[in-house]
């Protein structure tokens, strides 16, 4: 079921949101362990430029296609992924499955208080969800040990790691083997969305592949970060038409 497409050296799964949730649930029910990343154009471009980061991204059991640039790139390379599989959408559907199956969740990341606010909102929307712990994403090495101990005491099935990229991918890569969990997912700013501090783009923007544009209007300070999307597309086209390392 989990086919992958090589985009600038990163192995991206063709899984849809429900297939990704199925893969993750299967890991939980079989008592195994996995890391899940949700690379967008910006993350793939960073991985393309940095071999070490690329190896970290490719170490994940599942990398979903987060972002319209990734979908266009898959088409340009002749191995189309049909639909975006954003981290937020996967987390949303996974939470529903977890509530039905009594799987437990730990929320890690974002500014102090955000994970707790997200917990409250998620519990209101998903009666039965078992959120066993929260911690913000700003810590020193001493606090990091306490966070790992807290996670291991609470043994959640799933850990949402929302530290932004590349911090979250590196953190999962470094610590997954020490954690008594089944699944660690890198989910960027998702806790801010769950907490209600950041609004997701209206569905019409998402359907038109313009979520990036909505975010740019809402948060103009992201402009320089968002230049990663055209740079990513240019790199993809350059490789397609002139060759080079993929
Ligand atoms: N963050 C964190 N610790 C850090 C740096 C960032 O917890 O050391 C959090 C930050 O508060 C925000 C998230 O990581 O909640 C990154 O959000 P961003 O919107 O950059 O992620 P995206 O969704 O764009 O990947």
Give the residue from 103, 8, 18, 12 showing the smallest Cα distance to 48.
8
Q: Phi-psi region for residue 61, left (φ > 0), alpha (ψ -120 to 50) or beta?
A: alpha
Q: What is the pLDDT of residues 188-197, one digit of tens each?
A: 999 999 999 9
Asked whether the beta carbons of 38 and 90 are under 8 A apart, the reply is yes
CA distance linking residue 189 with residue 107, whole number of Å? 12
Please answer whether residues 25 and 34 qualify as being in contact, where contact means their C-beta atoms are separated by less than 8 angstroms: no
Measured from the Cα of 192, ligand 1's closest atom is 15
Residue ranges of domains in the chain: 4-242
pLDDT tens-digit series, residues 237-246: 999 888 876 6
Residue 2 has pLDDT above 80, yes or no: no
| pLDDT category of residue 215 using cuts at 50, 70 and 90 | confident
Which tens digits make up the pLDDT trace of 80-115? 999 999 999 999 999 999 999 999 999 999 999 999
What is the average pLDDT value for the chain, to the nearest integer?
Answer: 94
For ligand 1, atom 1, the nearest C-alpha belongs to: 163
* Antiparallel, parallel or unpaired: β 10-13 and 4-7: antiparallel
**Would you place residue 1 in the very low, low, confident or very high pLDDT band (cuts 50, 70, 90)?**
low
Nearest Cα residue to atom 5 of ligand 1: 163
Distance in angstroms (rounded) separating the CA atoms of residues 89 and 40: 14
Instruction: Give the pLDDT score at 12.
Output: 97
| C-alpha of residue 109 to centroid of ligand 1, in Å | 7
Q: What ligand 1 atom has the least distance to the C-alpha of 225?
A: 24
Q: What is the pLDDT of residue 207?
A: 85
Task: Band the pLDDT of 216: cuts 50, 70, 90.
Answer: confident
Q: CB within 6 Å of ligand 1 — which residues?
A: 109-111, 137-138, 162-165, 167, 188-189, 191-192
pTM for this model (two decimals): 0.94
Task: Give the model confidence (pLDDT) of 126-150 as tens digits.
Answer: 999 999 999 999 999 999 999 999 9
Angle of helix 41-49 versus helix 228-242 axis, rounded to 10? 60
Closest protein CA for atom 15 of ligand 1: 110
Nearest-angstrom CA–CA distance, 115 and 135: 6
Measure Cα distances from 227 to 168, 215, 233 in Å.
21, 13, 10
**Mean of the pLDDT values across residues 153-177?**
98
């Amino acid at each position: 079921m989990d086919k992958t497409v090589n985009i600038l050296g990163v192995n991206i799964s063709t899984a849809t949101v429900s297939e990704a949730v199925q893969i993750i649930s299967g890991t939980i029910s079989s008592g195994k362990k996995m890391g899940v990343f949700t690379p967008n154009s910006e993350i793939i471009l960073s991985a393309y430029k940095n071999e070490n980061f690329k190896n970290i991204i490719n170490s994940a059991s599942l990398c979903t296609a987060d972002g319209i640039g990734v979908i266009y790139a898959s088409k340009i390379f002749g191995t189309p992924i049909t639909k975006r599989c954003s981290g937020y959408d996967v987390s949303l559907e996974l939470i529903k499955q977890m509530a039905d199956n009594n799987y437990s969740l730990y929320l890690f990341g974002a500014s102090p208080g955000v994970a707790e606010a997200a917990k409250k909102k998620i519990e209101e929307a998903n009666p039965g969800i078992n959120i066993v712990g929260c911690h913000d994403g700003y810590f020193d090495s001493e606090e990091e040990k306490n966070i790992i101990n807290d996670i291991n005491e609470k043994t959640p099935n799933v850990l949402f790691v929302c530290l932004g990229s590349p911090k979250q991918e590196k953190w999962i890569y470094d610590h997954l083997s020490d954690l008594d969990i089944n699944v660690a997912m890198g989910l960027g700013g998702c806790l801010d969305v769950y907490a209600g501090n950041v609004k997701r783009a209206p569905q019409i923007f998402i359907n038109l592949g313009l979520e990036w544009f909505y975010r740019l209007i809402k948060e103009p300070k992201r402009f320089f970060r968002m230049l990663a999307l055209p740079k990513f597309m240019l790199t993809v086209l350059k490789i397609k038409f002139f060759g080079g390392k993929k």
